[in-house]
Structure 1
């Protein structure tokens, strides 16, 4: 029988509100054994992160406090420890990896100094040994060029590299328990796969117990031995991972699993007659100058998008997919004239090249955008009704009671009550805010909707509702969608055609099933192999080896080699 290293019994956490104390975690109990991975799963606001902060003694007191229960690390009761007691056990016996590594690393210290600080603080080595120990830690987390990384600052590293540094810091003193709070949520799918593989390998080597916090059921299936599902601060179900996925006992667990998009299970797209082209893009390029030196001259250029061409027809969904920095969001901004670009963009047969803001204004009525972060897209000082009506005011299309009626109808179309029009953005959930953004985008009756990672910030059940809403709007109005995403499972749900981008260029394109089920380019295969599958009985896939070669940043006067797409039949083309 494995030794129990962490015991949580009847843990309750309360936060102070103007109306009194509110319980956000209510009577949670679980055990964590050495070498085991326990996943706390659930949607936003379920109490997952509160559990981790309570265990680590990081609750922001006095606004938030442990109201009852017990947390034992071995035989040590943590709920009665003071700040000094917690300092003695953090990193040494229990450590934590946070969701956003940039907020956890000191921007003013090199990687070596930050690793050395942890080692010296807890007496793991003396000052003379610290550089060698820091190097060994980076080697253990498989960071490329570890000697060079030691001298770099956090902003000089990619998101995946920063997360590896965080893992190295967490494991520096060989803790008994590692708490990983959404450690891969902010990362690309291929980087996520590498980080999950790394945590598994390190756990095997060190026998560490892992408490993994996630909302991604694919990650749960890959990582967990046991699962505790939380909702509104209470345990809904607790079971071994295979039992949970095979036969969930609670309605909520069944709903959560049913909402997970699974790659390879999307039904065939309905054979609808697509209309005339509404968006035609030819040889689109977007480049940004990088200045430096005493004279602030242009020293290099970022080739964010390089000679990309595509067409979207009425009623069709074209998905742009790729990792961060591939240029997919830049294409969306170029279509709306938000960044300078070269090439040809035609919206409903009208060329937009060289148009000033005044001439672009009527064109923008036909092409609207739904952004990734629903909160950041709304003005906190305006009611949501005013914001949905604002495009109608700007374009002089409506006023008075007619505008009020039109706004109410838009709210109904996106599944919200017109009674909500006088509320402010902070009074809504993330999913409701995204519905408001969609209503605003629809206010001008556009022909093209650009959805830039429009569901990536949402919980899986809310994500499914928004995708269903977008599909129904397309069916009703014949809208054309340019759907930008890094999530291949979501892409499969919505796309008619798929374009895969890497370093500003298209590497593969074609109808959905051809690209996702018969990929020909190594990069497409790598993206697909990295997608976590919500099936714990499935053997872990052989990950495609990463290819770190290439950069979109080139010296002035130098251009990237243009990829030639070879026709593979039936509209399927790839750079092979």
Structure 2
């Protein structure tokens, strides 16, 4: 129990540390096996990491950032990938040829990693409590009861709502952000010397992201833990990094202190990377009206409610309900983008899945004037041709056994829209539109980076020329330069085809860029909605103001105050059977700007 970082310990003074580097990577070179021989994918990477330092690896998808982390952790997929040259020295000990049995002892206790995709790093058949306790008991001489108590404290540290209940749940029962918090809790369990964070806040909303960054900073203050942060969010880089390594095509193109990098980047590539960063407040006057938008309504949602029953007791009866979405009404016109923002678990993704008829719901949903509730399977297929979804987790939504080209072609085959050479040409065009080479069509999902997998999912969603796309965090896994390209692609398609988007995102700067209107969700209900410029420029609800205050600013000279939240802010959407939450009352403040008023 003593090795668990409690909330009270986080504020302790920093002990003096020796100036020697804790980690040295020297001329690290990695090759992967291909049909034509070995291919170098990481070429001569060198850097040092000091205790209590945050070193950020930045660069485009496929630049070798995650590969570097996997090499340090000893998790390269052998024999497909191997280190051909170089050293990885942890306190002077070379890890390159370390046997797996010894490497196992280092993981979690000396070096821990937060992975990019939480669903693939959690065991689907073990409860959350079991998975956290397993790590603790594997590396510490503690009892099952002590491990369970420590697991509960870790979930509280990462600000998990209803932590006692989450311990008994399974990964599929949690939202993407909640799963990521579990992964972070597991990584922090044994207080490692080095924490490798591979896109640790990608799936998190801005408020939880602010809390996690604060938590990592306080962990360093207490223990001198060194952090290697892999992220495409330059706001996170500016806020937390001491030094930055910019990578491209497996090589380091620039290394410098964070302030110098933002003030005076020394390479054209770094300047291009920084220019692509969306900055909150710069697009409020740039996108007031969308020329593609029309008055024709393609999506109508009236009094939508989605509840998940919680059974228990002797007869397994419904005792409680999770009110994931409660009495939500919204509409989207042709060629318009409506953004849904809010914290993880606020109901954003649930609304998107309800539009796709992927879960039962109450209320009314109309796509192109046609009600979707109660349709036969055949009728529903015709509706789904008009509305497609880009899911939050690209790896979980792709079949690992099929080449990605076949997966993009599959919707066209199911709906009998193309075959033969016409099908091949259509798929090739889709791959080119999302910035992937044609030879990628023959590869499988595991052969791509996280950002590349998301581009494949976007290509698949576009295959049927839908009228509405539900984009659930569709650019959250992409680095800033590719993100800018994909957003530009979505804009072009909207202008060409009059596409409508339900854009679900936690990135407020991206929401500002792409959306015409914004709806803010809190605990399953809309608390504010209206034109993007109005809601983000003059937020009327305290919750919206809190979201905006937590947005990381891509400026290392900007000091964001610590983000603190009281227990009252962690509102549960779990109610006993027969009880419902109070319905939010929205008042129009002018210009179609609706804000919830306090009850009573």
TM-score above 0.5, yes or no: yes
In 2, the alpha carbon distance for the partners of 1:377 and 1:139 equals 29
Query: What is the match of residue 320 of structure 1?
Result: 340
SS at the partner of 1:545? coil
1:245 to 1:361, Cα distance in 2 relative to 1, 3 A? same
Q: Aligned pair count?
A: 563
Residues 1:278 and 2:304 are matched in the alignment: no
SS at the partner of 2:351? helix
Does structure 2 conserve the Cα–Cα contact (< 8 Å) formed by 1:526 and 1:544?
no
Q: Describe the superposition over 1:456-488 as per-residue Cα deviations: whole angstroms up to 9, x where unpaired.
A: 233332222121111112112322222222222
TM-score for both structures, normalised by structure 2: 0.81
Q: Match for 1:407 among 422, 426, 448?
A: 426
Write the mapping of 1:118-137 to structure 2, written as runs, cut at 5 A.
Answer: 118-120=139-141, 131=146, 135=150
In 2, the alpha carbon distance for the partners of 1:358 and 1:145 equals 41
SS at the partner of 1:430? helix
Q: Give unmatched runs, 5+ long, in structure 1.
A: 121-126
Q: Give unmatched runs, 5+ long, in structure 2.
A: 1-17
Question: CA shift at 1:148, angstroms?
Answer: 8.0
Q: Match for 1:268 among 279, 286, 310?
A: 286
Write the mapping of 1:2-13 to structure 2, written as runs, cut at 5 A.
Answer: 2-13=19-30
Does structure 2 conserve the Cα–Cα contact (< 8 Å) formed by 1:11 and 1:68?
yes
Q: Match for 1:49 among 60, 66, 73?
A: 66
Residues 1:566 and 2:587 are matched in the alignment: yes
1:343 to 1:82, Cα distance in 2 relative to 1, 3 A? closer
Q: Describe the superposition over 1:74-113 as per-residue Cα deviations: whole angstroms up to 9, x where unpaired.
A: 4444445445655665556544444456736875847456
Higher RCO (CA < 8 A, seq sep 6+): 2
Does structure 2 conserve the Cα–Cα contact (< 8 Å) formed by 1:115 and 1:134?
no
Does structure 1 conserve the Cα–Cα contact (< 8 Å) formed by 2:306 and 2:323?
yes
Question: CA shift at 1:57, angstroms?
Answer: 3.8
Query: What is the match of residue 532 of structure 1?
Result: 552
In 2, the alpha carbon distance for the partners of 1:164 and 1:400 equals 47
1:163 to 1:469, Cα distance in 2 relative to 1, 3 A? same
In 2, the alpha carbon distance for the partners of 1:486 and 1:9 equals 37
Does structure 1 conserve the Cα–Cα contact (< 8 Å) formed by 2:523 and 2:572?
yes
SS at the partner of 1:491? helix
| Higher mean displacement: 375-384 or 31-40 | 375-384
1:291 to 1:268, Cα distance in 2 relative to 1, 3 A? same
Does structure 2 conserve the Cα–Cα contact (< 8 Å) formed by 1:189 and 1:531?
yes
Residues 1:187 and 2:204 are matched in the alignment: yes
Question: CA shift at 1:46, angstroms?
Answer: 2.3
Give RMSD over aligned pairs.
4.0
Question: CA shift at 1:192, angstroms?
Answer: 2.0
1:544 to 1:441, Cα distance in 2 relative to 1, 3 A? farther
| Higher mean displacement: 37-46 or 511-520 | 37-46
Q: Which has the larger radius of gyration?
A: 1
Residues 1:501 and 2:521 are matched in the alignment: yes
Residues 1:232 and 2:255 are matched in the alignment: no
In 2, the alpha carbon distance for the partners of 1:110 and 1:558 equals 33
In 2, the alpha carbon distance for the partners of 1:504 and 1:146 equals 14
SS at the partner of 1:523? helix
Query: What is the match of residue 489 of structure 1?
Result: 509
Residues 1:448 and 2:468 are matched in the alignment: yes
| Higher mean displacement: 20-29 or 406-415 | 406-415
Residues 1:518 and 2:545 are matched in the alignment: no
1:471 to 1:163, Cα distance in 2 relative to 1, 3 A? same
Write the mapping of 1:401-480 to structure 2, written as runs, cut at 5 A.
Answer: 407=426, 411=430, 414=433, 423=442, 426=445, 429-430=452-453, 432-442=455-465, 446-480=466-500
| Higher mean displacement: 73-82 or 389-398 | 389-398
In 2, the alpha carbon distance for the partners of 1:27 and 1:507 equals 52
In 2, the alpha carbon distance for the partners of 1:110 and 1:394 equals 39
SS at the partner of 1:248? coil
Q: Describe the superposition over 1:129-176 as per-residue Cα deviations: whole angstroms up to 9, x where unpaired.
A: 9949985994898366999869946848943652453243241xx63x
Query: What is the match of residue 142 of structure 1?
Result: 157
